[in-house]
Structure 1
């Protein structure tokens, strides 16, 4: 019986953590936050894990994009360019 209560407490804790994470996000509008929170609470075994992995993957992609220089190009390196005119 103690194992059942422990699992229930862990699931509720994870659901609360993911729900708070969702409502703190700035990139989601209100409908998305409510819909994803409903998924978390309606599917307590897989909902929190799936939503957390989804947003973790998006945050990792955003981090990669932020570290890249805007516009690409040579990054200021002019080794491949020649200045010999006509």
Structure 2
């Protein structure tokens, strides 16, 4: 699991930073990353406990991981490559 997480961590922060223009880059990154971490990461244990108890299926965390991975795939496939754009606005 640590190997999978390391691959994710190596890329995600650079990707998120490059989504925004230079003048708002770190504020947008900080707000977006931390709010989403609190919203989805903070509520995940409570949500998983509730889903397992209401469905009786102990594999609900695995289904949650698959659904969120599919959502991430959909979001990442729409990201525009900004490698050749200037860092500063004209």
Q: TM-score range by the shorter chain?
A: 0.3 to 0.5
Q: Which has the larger radius of gyration?
A: 1
Q: Comparing both structures, which one devotes a greater share of its residues to helix?
A: 2
Give me the TM-score of the superposition, normalised by structure 1: 0.37
Give me the TM-score of the superposition, normalised by structure 2: 0.36
